[in-house]
Chains A and B, each alone.
Chain A
């Protein structure tokens, strides 16, 4: 199977991203023109047929999500694009925005049409401030061309788009925190219910989607050659944007058909390990992702195969760590991230991250006891089982998978050394 495919990336470099005319020259807004002639439910069916799952990490079926958003009774619904992309080693959404901004705008208008929304918001992480002018220009031009505003394409459909920048907190990638951040509140998650789809941004029904999930839809609508459906198999159809980072020769963003092996990704696309060193570990899906050792290399990159191998697609980030970094040092670095980024509201996450960091430091300095390891495992489990939001739930994914993959690292040798 070839690991070169252009579906989501087919517009990359093909048009002047500052010009809507240039975008339209290569077929831009054809998908929207087609969409508004279709029954929105048919669009959901079309998405469901090729089993598109949310690309933010939760993997919720996109067609079902939009269909549910349609069904929610409420005025002035909102669609939000989550461009917070806060997971470490994840930068695929940045490429999608930077190299094909109009596709994202088009996707949001289609989402608005399907969900029956009147407003769309793009919540973009603070660090992507450099992309603001690009998006603002795209929104302005789309408005000038009548793709935004009132009575879009004469179909009596009104939709406006807003860009909002985050303040730099990782937790604002979590849906409820993201919404509070747009509302001008401190970006801390809240309990659910109420669910966002019923009462989200400004207490209005809200459909929240990742940049990549949205970006698929316009391409899918005009996918005459059924390129998307021809990629992948089983539950993992189509292509996937991945970002590879770490000790590889050619880090970057790649579009792969589902089913490409991890080896192909790391050794072909990403150019292999620097100085041909050995792989210590690979983390899938950013800081909240799970890790594996080199035995995963021949696993096909699909939802099910990765899950069976003990990891997950997650955010689409892949971090390759070579033999120079010990597992414990890697875990300490990863833990540092969560010890900073927990919002601090709920007890397990606030206090748990603090203590796990202490114990990891003890392991690194060879002063941990077997009891410490046991406590660490318990805290990690309690965090994942009982935290308020997804951050606390997944913060110890890396540690928990490391304890399974590298049990020897956590052995104290029976003595209280």
Chain B
């Protein structure tokens, strides 16, 4: 944390930008210095959460005394610097670079998934690029649509390298890289294999930072629209905890705004027969995973146990640490648990034929699409979850039907699968699953009521957090990590057998699901932190904050499942994992 005193200790540098004198702390880059004056220097490869690349050169500015233009993203200001952002050569450069990009770009903007949400399009509009005098040099490259999660369209790629940095620096995977040189340079995978056949774990962080439509989620909105139009079908939807604090971004609301009520209304107006809450599934996960942890702890099972609700993380284990999959909790994710209940308990009670039920889930995640397609997540050919939409696709649907989202009245989730506790809500933030589990495990073991239910040690944006919890004389060592870069560090210990922990939570994406690869375009770490805070606010405001206190969960166990880890619970709510050494195949 930067305190005010520390800020004062940084020497200030005086410079002028477009003849306006300003003073900024030493170390500031020209781009940020200009921002303080309200000057937005155009950029495409620059991303505030990534290390600087200085590839696109759109941010080139003139500095008096320098023969060449300097990149505003990478150049630190100096005392007496005189910057000009709007001279003829700067403008020529900006316009030329955009024209050069356009000449090598698939300009089917009107039918592009990123239409009206594209950085390149925005800049072309800003610089009034009305026609490009350059002939098209675009090579004929088809879309690559080989997996259920991510679609690549090389014809839209501007070679900015943001996806490469996200994959390598955030996840430590480096499935995407540059290959070739000069105008043949491309962003691709090793040996041009489909992403799923590489080290890629389909987290979608690449799609979140892509400035254009070169990497996008697989669009399943039409499947949902078709299902909603089918009078035979009973279409139910579940929404992940992190979607309700991200959705508002796309509709001009404050970042991190809690829009649960409007979201439920929107889904009802879209025509879903029932709008349920994945928080219910999260509570169920805690019941099963908590019981499994206690079982492992007390009966000498494999420890540390590791959470399994993040599908990118599960893919990572299967691909990168296949010999450690015994550490993964066998509990399905909240989404898939919910799906299993929605295809068994729910139709039985509601008197609906399971074949007529379509389960849709709205997730912050591209890897969830893959999870839903796993054969383990189905029974007798009936999948737990039929269609997974990302937050981005829900935004599209809401726009499609023309709803004024901001002004929608609020409404409540339907019952019985719409009731979730605060413990379920915080699943969306890194550390949330651990905290939710501790709330339940502690009370189950001790039989006492937790005095203070907030476990602050496992909250926050730090990459790896740890805590020791005394549970009735037994010290339980827990660890929480997000991003696979951090997960790898934890896993190296687990692999060597030197891990000091009993229970580890891992989320593949930065910040957890609130920063997932399916969240709205424009998601940054600053926004992730606001969403985290919003989830904890939701938790605070709920009357029930422990999963085992959820009355609908209690009813479910009483009437249907029996006990956690019962045979039926195992059949419906638990799964298996396997080593992945060959490409996935999809029909």
The answer to whether the Cβ of A208 comes within 8 Å of any Cβ in the partner chain is no
Known: A375-B134, A384-B68. A347 touches B57 (CB 8 A): yes
The answer to whether the Cβ of A386 comes within 8 Å of any Cβ in the partner chain is yes
The interface residues of chain B lying within 8 Å CB-to-CB of A378 are: 92, 96
A354 to B68, CA, bound (A): 22
The interface residues of chain B lying within 8 Å CB-to-CB of A351 are: 100-101, 103-104, 137, 183
- Cross-chain contact B182 with A385 (CB below 8 angstroms): no
Known: A350-B159, A354-B137, A381-B89. A388 touches B100 (CB 8 A): no
A323 to chain B, nearest CB (A): 32
Q: Mark A343-378, 1 if CB is under 8 A from B, else 0.
A: 111111011111100100000000000010001001
The answer to whether the Cβ of B127 comes within 8 Å of any Cβ in the partner chain is no
- Cross-chain contact B134 with A344 (CB below 8 angstroms): no
The interface residues of chain B lying within 8 Å CB-to-CB of A342 are: 181-183
The interface residues of chain B lying within 8 Å CB-to-CB of A340 are: 182
The interface residues of chain B lying within 8 Å CB-to-CB of A384 are: 68
The answer to whether the Cβ of B93 comes within 8 Å of any Cβ in the partner chain is yes
The answer to whether the Cβ of B184 comes within 8 Å of any Cβ in the partner chain is yes
Known: A343-B185, A385-B89. A191 touches B71 (CB 8 A): yes
The interface residues of chain B lying within 8 Å CB-to-CB of A393 are: 68
The answer to whether the Cβ of A229 comes within 8 Å of any Cβ in the partner chain is no
- Cross-chain contact B182 with A386 (CB below 8 angstroms): no
The answer to whether the Cβ of B97 comes within 8 Å of any Cβ in the partner chain is yes
The interface residues of chain A lying within 8 Å CB-to-CB of B60 are: 385-386
- Cross-chain contact B100 with A186 (CB below 8 angstroms): no
B42 to chain A, nearest CB (A): 12
The answer to whether the Cβ of B74 comes within 8 Å of any Cβ in the partner chain is yes
For window 504-550 of B, CB contacts with A under 8 Å fall at none
A340 to B180, CA, bound (A): 10
The answer to whether the Cβ of A305 comes within 8 Å of any Cβ in the partner chain is no
B257 to chain A, nearest CB (A): 36
- Cross-chain contact A345 with B101 (CB below 8 angstroms): no
- Cross-chain contact A341 with B182 (CB below 8 angstroms): yes
- Cross-chain contact B183 with A353 (CB below 8 angstroms): yes
- Cross-chain contact B100 with A355 (CB below 8 angstroms): yes
A342 to B135, CA, bound (A): 20
B24 to chain A, nearest CB (A): 17
A280 to chain B, nearest CB (A): 28
B212 to chain A, nearest CB (A): 13
A154 to chain B, nearest CB (A): 44
B81 to chain A, nearest CB (A): 15
Number of interface residues of A (CB under 8 A): 35
- Cross-chain contact B100 with A379 (CB below 8 angstroms): yes
- Cross-chain contact B182 with A348 (CB below 8 angstroms): no
A384 to B67, CA, bound (A): 10
The answer to whether the Cβ of A169 comes within 8 Å of any Cβ in the partner chain is yes
- Cross-chain contact B68 with A350 (CB below 8 angstroms): no
> Which of these, A188, A191, A387, contacts B178 with CB under 8 Å?
A188
The interface residues of chain B lying within 8 Å CB-to-CB of A386 are: 57, 60, 68-69, 71, 93, 97
- Cross-chain contact A388 with B54 (CB below 8 angstroms): yes
The answer to whether the Cβ of A339 comes within 8 Å of any Cβ in the partner chain is yes
The interface residues of chain B lying within 8 Å CB-to-CB of A352 are: 96, 100
A342 to B159, CA, bound (A): 14
A340 to B184, CA, bound (A): 9
A201 to B133, CA, bound (A): 42
A372 to chain B, nearest CB (A): 8
- Cross-chain contact A345 with B159 (CB below 8 angstroms): yes
> Which of these, A350, A355, A375, A387, contacts B185 with CB under 8 Å?
A350
- Cross-chain contact A385 with B69 (CB below 8 angstroms): yes
- Cross-chain contact B55 with A346 (CB below 8 angstroms): yes
Known: A191-B74, A355-B137, A385-B68. A346 touches B185 (CB 8 A): no
The interface residues of chain B lying within 8 Å CB-to-CB of A348 are: 57, 93, 96-97, 100
The answer to whether the Cβ of A382 comes within 8 Å of any Cβ in the partner chain is yes
The answer to whether the Cβ of B58 comes within 8 Å of any Cβ in the partner chain is yes
A78 to chain B, nearest CB (A): 23
The answer to whether the Cβ of B56 comes within 8 Å of any Cβ in the partner chain is yes
* Closest partner residue, chain A, to B186 (CB atom): A344
A342 to B54, CA, bound (A): 16
The interface residues of chain B lying within 8 Å CB-to-CB of A354 are: 104, 137, 182-183
A171 to B60, CA, bound (A): 22
- Cross-chain contact B92 with A169 (CB below 8 angstroms): no
Known: A347-B57, A354-B137, A375-B134. A169 touches B97 (CB 8 A): no
B163 to chain A, nearest CB (A): 14
The interface residues of chain A lying within 8 Å CB-to-CB of B100 are: 347-348, 351-352, 355, 379
A387 to B76, CA, bound (A): 18
- Cross-chain contact B57 with A387 (CB below 8 angstroms): yes
A393 to B60, CA, bound (A): 13
* Closest partner residue, chain A, to B158 (CB atom): A347
- Cross-chain contact A344 with B183 (CB below 8 angstroms): yes
Known: A191-B54, A355-B137, A386-B69. A343 touches B181 (CB 8 A): yes
B137 to chain A, nearest CB (A): 6
* Closest partner residue, chain B, to A352 (CB atom): B100
The answer to whether the Cβ of B52 comes within 8 Å of any Cβ in the partner chain is yes
The interface residues of chain A lying within 8 Å CB-to-CB of B104 are: 351, 354
- Cross-chain contact A345 with B52 (CB below 8 angstroms): no
The interface residues of chain A lying within 8 Å CB-to-CB of B55 are: 345-347, 388
Q: Mark B28-58, 1 if CB is under 8 A from A, else 0.
A: 0000000000000000000000001111111
- Cross-chain contact A347 with B58 (CB below 8 angstroms): yes
The interface residues of chain A lying within 8 Å CB-to-CB of B135 are: 355, 358
A205 to B103, CA, bound (A): 41
Known: A191-B71, A191-B74, A385-B68. A345 touches B185 (CB 8 A): yes
- Cross-chain contact A347 with B92 (CB below 8 angstroms): no
Identify the interface centre among A343, A375, A382: most chain B CB within 10 Å of its CB.
Answer: A382
B362 to chain A, nearest CB (A): 37
The interface residues of chain B lying within 8 Å CB-to-CB of A345 are: 55, 159, 161, 178, 185
The interface residues of chain A lying within 8 Å CB-to-CB of B89 are: 381, 385
- Cross-chain contact B133 with A371 (CB below 8 angstroms): yes
The interface residues of chain A lying within 8 Å CB-to-CB of B101 are: 347, 351
Question: Can you list 5 A-B pairs, Cβ within 8 angstroms, ordered by A?
Answer: A191-B71, A341-B182, A346-B55, A347-B57, A388-B57
Q: Which of A's residues lie within 8 Å of B, judged by CB?
A: 169, 171, 186, 188, 191, 193, 339-348, 350-355, 358, 371, 375, 378-379, 381-382, 384-388, 393
Given A348-B93, A385-B69, 15 new contacts (CB under 8 A): A188-B181, A191-B53, A193-B76, A342-B182, A343-B182, A344-B159, A346-B56, A347-B158, A348-B100, A350-B182, A351-B100, A375-B133, A378-B92, A379-B96, A388-B54
Q: Which of B's residues lie within 8 Å of A, judged by CB?
A: 52-58, 60, 68-69, 71, 74, 76, 89, 92-93, 96-97, 100-101, 103-104, 133-135, 137, 158-159, 161, 178, 180-185
**Which 5 pairs between the two chains have the least Cβ-Cβ distance?**
A344-B185, A351-B100, A191-B54, A386-B60, A342-B182
